């Protein structure tokens, strides 16, 4: 394959390690996040088969034994959820032959893909979710340009950076093709224009507590329709829901999740932004910045094939910490502020958390460029958000 525009991915070592310990490796993530490129880069010795291709899909669905017989030494099967019949046949093949890393599967529809894995391939498959680029990948490849606002606006899909295309044009195409195609294949959405309106309204609620009834009413659809459409967006790796922290320090806790998008460039486009200079004065700039920090943190988990245990904490009195990371029964609080100058009240949520939990320490991620310690907390610059999710040997965040 042509490596001219390849951007080295943090997940590359992880997927190689998974292939040493599992006969099948599954690579999931949103469309255009770089799954196929990564799979073909790492496993270039295997045949590549796209199941988006109608001929391949028909052959695999109607004669799975004959189809798989052509790839006895292994293969990369792209968008494998399009032919769910293959999962049970793959189970029989790998059970009879214990070779590791034989088949590489990719998929961009989370729920259907994972259902097939759970039913047929549990214990036989190593799983890795590949989200769009993280900031360190973008920077090391030499594609980072401008400051925080430019980064938030451009987003992290590889094509925006390696192709000669404006971010606005690419995201318009992405929304109009990939999302609509997934919607058509996953649920009975009769009015795609209504769904796009719903999507834009969801972007306007990024970083907010999710209220299905309110979102549905604003979009002119029922509560159940709003839930179904959000499930489609989750399954397509467009949005994720951040759950409230589960420990019952105080019974008067918020129980509904918060809504976020995996990519801030997509949010910016859905909000109608056309240039990055519009961001500083936008009323949702703080929410988009918060979305960026949390999604960068998730990437650090997924790139090492760890399951992210990320939450937020808020009580009924309005005290809040934007992100709680939990590993090995230890909770690490992270406050997120988009301002470039740190003020004392930026630490109010972290102080409240210390008082309530009895645990010391935490981090403040802000819009400035310096990294230091203040009032017992790590102050972390916006461009090190990815490091928040990385742990050292003692289980503490590397910040």
Structure tokens at 116: 């097939």
Topology of the domain covering 12-129: Rossmann fold (3.40.50)
Lowest mean pLDDT among 15-29, 108-122, 134-148: 108-122
pLDDT of residue 232: 85
Sign of CA dihedral 244, 245, 247, 253: negative
What is the tens place of the pLDDT at every residue in 231-290?
888 888 999 999 999 775 555 667 889 999 999 999 999 999 999 999 999 999 999 999
395 pLDDT above the threshold of 60: no
CA distance 355 to 369: 29
Residue closest to 181 by CA, chosen among 109, 95, 263 = 109
113 pLDDT above the threshold of 90: no
pLDDT of residue 317: 78
Element (H or E) spanning 180, and its range?
helix 180-186
CA distance 357 to 349: 12
Residue closest to 276 by CA, chosen among 188, 152, 120, 163 = 152
394 confidence band (pLDDT: 50, 70, 90): very low
Record the pTM: 0.93
pLDDT of residue 396: 52
pLDDT of residue 191: 74
Q: Could you tell me the residue ranges of all domains in the chain?
A: 12-129
DSSP sequence for 323-347: EEEEETTEEEEEEEE--SS--GGGG
Lowest mean pLDDT among 41-50, 127-136, 210-219, 376-385: 210-219
């Amino acid at each position: 394959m042509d490596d001219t525009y390849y951007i080295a991915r943090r997940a590359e070592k992880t997927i190689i390690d998974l292939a040493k310990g599992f006969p099948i490796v599954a690579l999931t993530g949103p469309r255009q996040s770089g799954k196929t490129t990564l799979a073909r880069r790492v496993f270039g010795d295997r045949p590549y088969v796209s199941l988006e291709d109608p001929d391949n899909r028909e052959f695999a669905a109607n004669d799975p034994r004959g189809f798989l017989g052509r790839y006895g030494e292994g293969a990369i099967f792209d968008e494998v959820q399009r032919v769910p019949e293959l999962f049970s046949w793959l189970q029989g093949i790998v059970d009879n032959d214990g070779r590791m890393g034989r088949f590489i599967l990719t998929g961009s529809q989370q729920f259907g893909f994972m259902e097939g894995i759970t039913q047929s391939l549990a214990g036989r498959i190593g799983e890795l979710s590949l989200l769009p680029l993280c900031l360190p990948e973008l920077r090391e490849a030499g594609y980072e340009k401008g400051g925080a606002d430019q980064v938030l606006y451009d987003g992290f899909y590889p094509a925006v950076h390696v192709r000669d295309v404006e971010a606005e044009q690419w995201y318009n195409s992405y929304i109009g093709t990939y999302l609509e195609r997934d919607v058509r294949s996953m649920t009975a959405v009769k009015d795609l224009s209504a769904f796009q309106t719903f999507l834009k309204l969801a972007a306007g609620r990024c970083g907010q507590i999710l209220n299905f009834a309110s979102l549905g009413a604003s979009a002119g659809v029922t509560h159940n329709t709003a839930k179904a459409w959000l499930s489609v967006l989750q399954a397509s790796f467009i949005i994720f829901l951040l759950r409230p922290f589960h420990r019952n320090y105080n019974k008067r806790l918020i129980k509904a999740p918060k809504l976020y998008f995996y990519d801030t460039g997509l949010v910016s486009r859905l909000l109608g932004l056309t240039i990055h200079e519009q961001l500083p004065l936008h009323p949702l700039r703080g929410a988009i910045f918060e979305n960026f920090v949390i999604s960068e943190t998730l990437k650090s988990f997924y790139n090492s094939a760890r399951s992210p245990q990320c939450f937020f904490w808020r009580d009924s009195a309005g005290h809040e910490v934007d992100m709680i990371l939990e590993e090995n029964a230890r909770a690490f609080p992270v406050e997120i502020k988009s301002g470039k100058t740190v003020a004392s009240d930026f630490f109010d949520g972290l102080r409240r958390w210390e008082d309530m939990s009895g645990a010391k320490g935490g981090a403040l991620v802000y819009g400035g460029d310096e990294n230091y310690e203040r009032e017992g907390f790590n102050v972390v610059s916006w461009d090190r958000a990815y490091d928040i999710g990385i742990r050292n040997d003692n289980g503490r965040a590397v910040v």
